[in-house]
Structure 1
């Protein structure tokens, strides 16, 4: 059966107060009369999560129009999306009232969230496959998961939990519920899977953090989820450079402004107490925030879908990460001095990479490669920093920079290559500055049309890294692949750049290079130094170090180099620097 998308009770933002009043009146109708008459019990809570039920989900009302597609759990679409026959006093997800904020002549709202599902089970249940088939270029897909991801990984009831965090770790299970063998991934892994699939369909992904529960902390503030699912959702959005609406924080702020008693009226009055699912008024409040978030993304096309008065009038852009052009700088090569070996008769250590290796002081940023030379005895070896800001494994190669390094390589030299910070993003999107490489290490290519109309066959990250390894080894040089230095906000929990580190490791093993897990080396050092100290290491919000941070990272690089199998640079270290860098280890094949 096909169900076309439509909206129940199309209350607009200006009617939010009226919606709350309706909920209050509905609740008041259930209030028992005063003594001496006996008090009537409140109705039992209704669990509308269809654990095994077959649900009929809507499809685009007008397939010719773009769609805003919603995926998530019961806080987005509750049960059969009908309030369980209780009207505004029942349970409602915010996806239903969101339809009132858009112009139906311009866009469909297709709410394909399913109660009771986690990010994992939305995928494994087949709902994602069926939803993905409906997504077309130009669509916008909002994802909000988290409320069910903390459940057990394996049981005979739901088996819906995910591994905590955003890492690449996985756990093999024999699913008690489905009787199938399954690989369970992290919460962040499933969000990244949705993002990749959405992009592959030519649509725009938007990550939404889960709504807050009706719970208060010791200071009387609504509890946030920054330390887990809301924070992890934001980390994934930042890492994948997609839009993010922090519904968890924004709704909590609204709750704090309203006060305890008013917030109680945004949830069904039941026994036991309902602290997750909102009534219609609560759903309306959350939809109001999401609508404001969509308008605040900085995308004129999406804003054009919305009614002019859609969303909050104040703070509409607060805690919303836009899809603006990739702001990672691309350094003008004409402004960068090309380094040369001081004594060409000596061996040379060539550094190849991006701005985290060489920033040149731009906006106060210094790369670790600019502070590595003192760790070496320059009477025995040259250190040449050929890195340049804004480049990826792809663009360092296509701009001919690798050819210039290769022309100077000789037997006995060492090449250290670190890329990854600029390799993510969407191939073919001019906003990504034509530098994204294809994911993986395989031979597959993606055709990219450049701004001048020319065509480029874009290879995988691993293909470019293998090219560097094989070209350099053919000249008799030793090659070291280093995973990227971590971001300022991604070293305390889990690990940053897990995928790129794995690709580097595989390429090194397959092609005779050495691998140094610089991400972990630096992150371990940051943990020893502590968050307060690490915050003084950066010149910007999350990527580039200042001089102090560059010194710190250079020491970690030196330590990692000394720990490599065979210690290929061991004869060239300066004494004091090697003492400074001692006591750490590097990963290797």
Structure 2
């Protein structure tokens, strides 16, 4: 109760700053930036307030694409399910905890906050500026205490009382709570500044990160340490890689990231939301831990029993692939391979789904899963292979869980260092497919390569086709090695176009990748269509109409 009363008293001490009237000349951010409103007001919202490291300029990369300057409030949207929660980025470049309020942005943003919402605040980069000058007049008093300073603002010509950094944060916290929403404090993102050894990253100076943590602790507010977590992430990536997270045309830039760097910071925010257990699990399309890795544990393939044929005397249709082939119902997701058996006479052929979630063409091979599947293959079996969703992960990035394969189908190999320090020579996507084909044919089995199913947002007319490279590589490898190929990406794409967006949206259990039961059945139907079109129709004798 005392803490709440103190916070409210801090809030009541701020009306003088709020009462100022700014003009376009003195508040260019207010005049030039149009901030978004919740896309679907009936849904809960996550509102972001802060500076350019959250939302830079017009949030368009200055027209330079991915190499422009971006705040993390843009890429974080891809990690949240827009059908369940609004992401509303109300941050403004150039402002501090003080001027976000005094310029009127807070009052306008507050109008969108409702009970059950979350508000993430990240200030500090501009708060160390001068308290009073005729340029920005955006600085705050150092610390978290009750100190204040009365000034005649040289920029506005108006009297103003300036408070400490902590006082401004407490003001936001009190108002957010009064509206029935949940406040969250983020420390300022880490700067690209290295110690003399070029290995360690300099943590934030000026103590703004420490003060943000102090206020969060005192007020009982969730805290996301973008300063420390960002430093650890940069140190793990190394100096050379971190340079790629900042605009190439401004090598002296230490604060403003390009789109890739913004995505790294966005992953840290997601990790903080997860660690603090702030959002329902269903809101996330991706989950990250503070080290940038996927928060969802990748199941150890050695601990997942390899599915055996029901009747070893019968021929088998064997499936290998990733979670889009087999998800096991996790979070309501099912892969097409889990609904394929209904199309076959299982008294005459085994349908054996040995796909495993989170795998790429590389890890299905290197983890030993393939060796176990291969032991069961025999002459007359047919092997279906679908990889690609996880092969595009960055080689050498700890967040990628050592899943990325070298692009293409050639003999090129790249050395990768695993978390345990061991080295691995990573082969091309085509190399792994060719190995599967060669091994399977040596046991007398036939092989069909399938391109990946499309994402929910990559099938509509006018869009570039999804998985273009992986489809082309799969087809080339199949032809060169005596296998057959099904362009499942386009079979599903064309079928999606035939039924329309409303039905397609109902086929997914997450934002864009994993299908639900209905989607799995729909895509399994497309797989069967592709099998029927294969020369010689090798599975025709085993097909039957699925139950209605």
Bucket of the pairwise TM-score, normalised by the shorter protein: 0.5 to 0.7
1:207 to partner: Cα distance: 5.5
The yes-or-no answer on 1:442 pairing with 2:410 is yes
**Correspondence for 1:416:** 384
The yes-or-no answer on 1:529 pairing with 2:474 is no
Q: Distance in 1 between matches of 2:205 and 2:294?
A: 25
Q: Distance in 1 between matches of 2:431 and 2:466?
A: 21
Aligned residues of 1:363 and 1:539 also touching (Cα < 8 A):
yes
Q: Distance in 1 between matches of 2:510 and 2:297?
A: 12
Question: TM-score of the superposition, structure 1-length normalised?
Answer: 0.49
Q: Aligned pair in 2 of structure 1 residues 504, 297: CA closer, same or farther (>3 Å)? A: farther
Structure 2, gaps ≥5 residues long: 1-16, 34-50, 54-58, 80-86, 94-99, 109-134, 140-184, 194-199, 216-220, 225-261, 269-291
The yes-or-no answer on 1:504 pairing with 2:474 is yes
The yes-or-no answer on 1:321 pairing with 2:250 is no
The yes-or-no answer on 1:366 pairing with 2:367 is no
**Correspondence for 1:428:** 396
Q: Distance in 1 between matches of 2:470 and 2:202?
A: 35
Aligned residues of 2:449 and 2:474 also touching (Cα < 8 A):
yes
Q: Distance in 2 between matches of 1:573 and 1:467?
A: 28
The yes-or-no answer on 1:392 pairing with 2:357 is no
**Correspondence for 1:494:** 464
Aligned residues of 1:328 and 1:390 also touching (Cα < 8 A):
no
Q: Distance in 2 between matches of 1:433 and 1:500?
A: 20
Q: Aligned pair in 2 of structure 1 residues 378, 297: CA closer, same or farther (>3 Å)? A: farther
Q: Aligned pair in 2 of structure 1 residues 428, 537: CA closer, same or farther (>3 Å)? A: same
Q: Distance in 2 between matches of 1:361 and 1:437?
A: 27
1:294 to partner: Cα distance: 9.9
The yes-or-no answer on 1:467 pairing with 2:448 is no
Q: Aligned pair in 2 of structure 1 residues 511, 348: CA closer, same or farther (>3 Å)? A: same
Q: Aligned pair in 2 of structure 1 residues 390, 25: CA closer, same or farther (>3 Å)? A: closer
Aligned residues of 1:295 and 1:306 also touching (Cα < 8 A):
no
Q: Aligned pair in 2 of structure 1 residues 303, 351: CA closer, same or farther (>3 Å)? A: farther
Deviation track 1:511-532 (CA, whole Å, cap 9, x = no partner) reads 2221212122222222333322
Q: Distance in 1 between matches of 2:376 and 2:23?
A: 77
**Correspondence for 1:560:** 530
Q: Aligned pair in 2 of structure 1 residues 346, 426: CA closer, same or farther (>3 Å)? A: same
| C-alpha RMSD of matched pairs (Å) | 4.9
Q: Aligned pair in 2 of structure 1 residues 329, 545: CA closer, same or farther (>3 Å)? A: farther
Q: What SS does the aligned partner of 1:480 have?
A: strand
Q: Distance in 2 between matches of 1:572 and 1:385?
A: 17
1:478 pairs, out of 433, 439, 446, with 446
Aligned residues of 1:209 and 1:248 also touching (Cα < 8 A):
no
Q: Distance in 2 between matches of 1:475 and 1:346?
A: 15
Q: Distance in 1 between matches of 2:300 and 2:487?
A: 29
Q: What SS does the aligned partner of 1:423 have?
A: coil
Q: Distance in 1 between matches of 2:512 and 2:413?
A: 31
Aligned residues of 1:295 and 1:303 also touching (Cα < 8 A):
no
Question: TM-score of the superposition, structure 2-length normalised?
Answer: 0.52
Q: Aligned pair in 2 of structure 1 residues 25, 363: CA closer, same or farther (>3 Å)? A: closer
Q: Distance in 1 between matches of 2:390 and 2:191?
A: 22
1:376 to partner: Cα distance: 0.9
Q: Distance in 1 between matches of 2:331 and 2:518?
A: 14
Q: Distance in 2 between matches of 1:294 and 1:497?
A: 38
Q: What SS does the aligned partner of 2:479 have?
A: helix
Q: What SS does the aligned partner of 1:321 have?
A: helix
1:541 pairs, out of 511, 514, 518, with 511
Q: Aligned pair in 2 of structure 1 residues 444, 572: CA closer, same or farther (>3 Å)? A: same
The yes-or-no answer on 1:381 pairing with 2:338 is no
Q: Aligned pair in 2 of structure 1 residues 557, 517: CA closer, same or farther (>3 Å)? A: same
1:348 pairs, out of 316, 334, 337, with 316
5 Å-filtered alignment, 1:272-311, equals: 295=188, 304=203
Q: Distance in 1 between matches of 2:371 and 2:302?
A: 17
Q: Distance in 2 between matches of 1:451 and 1:256?
A: 45
Structure 1, gaps ≥5 residues long: 1-15, 28-74, 76-96, 102-142, 149-186, 195-204, 211-229, 239-245, 260-279, 285-291, 581-589
Q: Distance in 1 between matches of 2:337 and 2:355?
A: 8
Aligned residues of 1:339 and 1:386 also touching (Cα < 8 A):
yes
Q: Distance in 2 between matches of 1:472 and 1:377?
A: 23
Q: How many matched pairs?
A: 347
**Correspondence for 2:196:** none
1:403 to partner: Cα distance: 1.3
Q: Distance in 2 between matches of 1:307 and 1:355?
A: 46
Q: Distance in 1 between matches of 2:70 and 2:486?
A: 33
